[in-house]
Structure formats: structure tokens, C-alpha cells
């Protein structure tokens, strides 16, 4: 399936970005001040109810990363101004409790711990803060979560830990790390069985969620995400793959020649935007 790619062009109806400050807690229960960037579409009105996409940064990033490193804002502006889809709110949070300190090689287990702990913060602190400040649908049917790289890993953990909060999942260039770093490729069978069984045990069926995954053919995540998706296709009782975005609940796009960068991966958000939530 070919991708619909975004090309920058200015539009008069531009959304705005606000900074939402909220409080969470560290492992010792100490209060921590954090923030998320919130994109509000042009014409946002408090009296309406908007779907919300939570879009997570990659490893070493922060809530500014998507906005600083890609044309995601213009892609959203164009999508809404041209009526490709109904306007929705996009929230850009950070999964670290403190700024990460890196000295050379990335510690996969430490990164895994950050995104797993973030699942509680989503439920307890961030989503209530967003729903309390903005005109959201405040239901899983109007909520999606996605992310790039470790943000993609975060998305798979949200499927496992917070499926009652989200119905749309957009894992980009990141596989599921339930059984350790790069688990989608190294522990493919165990990973997919766990994804399947975890959803089924909670009573969710194929009509209760949709997964829109993507990466690039030259992306370092491709060798681990692709086998996971291919194995998921075999679990047809729960994961129903389709090339058509209007059918099935599992979709996968690989952008030819694209490396592991925000400036490429944001194109998947643009491509999938018309089918994430309600169409115009």
C-alpha cells in the first residue's frame, strides 16, 4: 500500500501549541513538576468534544522533540484545513521523570523501565490533566496513543497496560519490549502471544481497537518491528491485517528508503490521520 505523503505548504488556519503543566510522582512518592505540549486545532472550541492523540518522543527526547525535529504541526494544520479528517487534539508528553543522562551506549533495560513506569503516569496524572483542561471526548473511543522509537515501545506497553484507556495505537519504528529490548525481533513468538493473550483476557476483541504501525525500509527498527507484525497477522481472531485502511484492525506501512528520524517517521502520522478517529 502506498503512503500519502505530506509536503509543506502554508495554510491560513493554523493550530496553536500550549504548554500544559501537571504534577506526577517519582518512585519514592515525591511530587515532580512536568509539562506536555498540547496542539489545539484551528477553531478549537471549549464546547466541543475532541478526540486526542498522545504522541510520544523517542529515546533521549522530550515533549518538544516532535515539534522541533519534524513538520508534524504543519502536517496537522494541512490535514484539518483541507478537511482530510476531523480536527483532533495532539498531546506531546515526555516519558522521563528527569532529563536522561547518557554516556555512550543506550541502556535498553533502563529505557524499558522509563516507558513502563510512564504507563501509570498516563493513567493517574497526564490523562486526567488533559481531560480536565480541554474539551475532550474523555473515553477510550476518542483516545489514541503513538510514538517514535522508544515512543513506539511506549505505545505497545500502553496496549498491554492501558487498553481500557485507548482504542487507537500508532507504534512507529518501535517494537514491543515486554520480554526485553528489541523483543519484537528477538522474542517474536512470546511477544505476540503475550499481546494476544493480554487483550483477550481483558475481554477485548478485534472490533475494540485499531493498530496503525509504520517504519522505514532503512530504519534500524525495521528488522525487529517487521517480524512482530508478520507474526501478529497470523493471530486472525484478534489481529485482522488489511492493506485497506477502512478494513481490519492491523495496518503496517514501510516507507521506502526512510531512516530512523522524526523528519521521516512523521509522514506515517500524516498518512494515517484520516482514519485514526472520525472522518469528516
For 206-247, the DSSP string reads GGG-EEEEEEETT-TTHHHHHHHHHHHTT-TTT--B-SSTTS
Give the pLDDT confidence score for residue 1 in this predicted structure.
59
Give the pLDDT confidence score for residue 70 in this predicted structure.
98
Average the pLDDT over 116-122 and give the result.
97
Torsion angles phi and psi, residue 224, rounded to 5: -105, -35
Percentage of the chain with pLDDT > 90? 93
pLDDT at 233 over 90: yes
Cβ-contact 206, 250 below 8 angstroms: no
Question: Is residue 5 classed exposed, middle or buried when 0-12, 13-18 and 19+ CB atoms within 10 A define those classes?
Answer: exposed
Fold of 16-276: Rossmann fold (3.40.50)
Question: How far, in Å, CA of 243 to CA of 268, rounded?
Answer: 14
Strand 31-40's sheet: what is its strand order? 16-25, 31-40, 89-92, 52-56, 143-148, 168-172, 210-216, 250-255
pLDDT at 157 over 90: yes
Cβ-contact 211, 169 below 8 angstroms: yes
Distance of CA 115 to the CA centre of its chain: 12
What is the rounded average pLDDT for all residues in the chain? 96
Average the pLDDT over 53-71 and give the result.
97
Give the pLDDT confidence score for residue 113 in this predicted structure.
94
Cβ-contact 45, 152 below 8 angstroms: no
Percentage of the chain with pLDDT > 70? 98
The model's pTM is: 0.97
Average the pLDDT over 1-21 and give the result.
94
pLDDT at 213 over 70: yes
β-partners of residue 37 are 19, 92
Torsion, Cα of 211, 212, 215, 216 (10° steps): 140
Average the pLDDT over 170-179 and give the result.
98
Give the domain ranges of the chain: 16-276
Average the pLDDT over 83-98 and give the result.
96
Cβ-contact 57, 141 below 8 angstroms: no
Give the pLDDT band of residue 99 (cuts 50, 70, 90). confident
Cβ-contact 58, 150 below 8 angstroms: yes
pLDDT at 94 over 80: yes
Copy the grid coordinates of residue 146: 503513538
Amino acid at each position: 500500500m502506498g503512503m500519502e505523503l505530506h509536503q509543506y505548504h502554508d495554510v491560513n488556519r493554523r493550530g496553536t501549541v500550549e504548554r500544559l503543566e501537571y504534577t506526577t510522582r517519582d518512585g519514592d512518592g515525591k511530587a515532580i513538576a512536568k509539562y506536555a505540549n498540547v496542539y489545539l486545532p484551528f477553531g478549537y472550541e471549549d464546547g466541543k468534544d475532541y478526540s486526542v492523540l498522545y504522541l510520544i518522543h523517542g529515546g533521549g527526547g522530550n515533549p518538544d522533540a516532535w515539534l522541533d525535529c519534524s513538520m508534524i504541526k504543519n502536517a496537522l494544520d494541512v490535514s484539518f484545513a483541507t478537511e482530510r479528517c476531523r480536527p483532533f487534539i495532539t498531546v506531546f508528553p515526555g516519558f522521563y521523570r528527569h532529563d536522561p543522562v547518557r554516556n555512550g551506549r543506550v541502556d535498553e533495560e533502563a529505557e524499558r523501565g522509563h516507558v513502563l513506569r510512564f504507563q501509570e503516569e498516563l493513567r493517574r496524572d497526564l490523562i486526567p490533566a488533559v481531560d480536565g483542561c480541554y474539551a475532550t471526548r474523555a473515553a477510550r473511543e476518542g483516545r489514541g496513543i503513538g510514538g517514535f522509537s522508544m515512543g513506539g515501545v511506549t505505545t505497545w506497553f500502553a496496549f498491554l497496560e492501558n487498553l481500557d484507556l485507548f482504542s487507537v495505537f500508532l507504534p512507529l519504528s518501535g517494537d514491543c519490549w515486554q520480554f526485553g529490548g528489541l523483543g519484537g525481533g528477538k522474542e517474536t513468538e512470546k511477544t505476540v502471544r503475550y499481546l494476544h493473550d493480554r487483550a483477550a483476557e481483558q475481554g477485548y476483541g478485534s472490533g475494540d481497537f485499531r493498530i496503525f504501525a509504520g517504519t522505514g525500509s532503512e530504519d534500524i527498527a525495521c528488522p525487529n518491528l517487521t517480524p512482530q507484525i508478520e507474526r501478529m497477522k497470523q493471530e486472525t481472531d484478534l489481529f485482522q491485517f488489511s492493506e485497506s485502511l477502512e478494513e481490519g484492525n492491523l495496518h503496517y506501512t514501510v516507507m521506502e528508503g526512510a531512516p530512523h528520524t522524526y523528519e521521516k517517521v512523521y509522514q506515517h502520522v500524516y498518512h494515517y490521520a484520516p482514519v485514526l478517529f472520525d472522518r469528516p
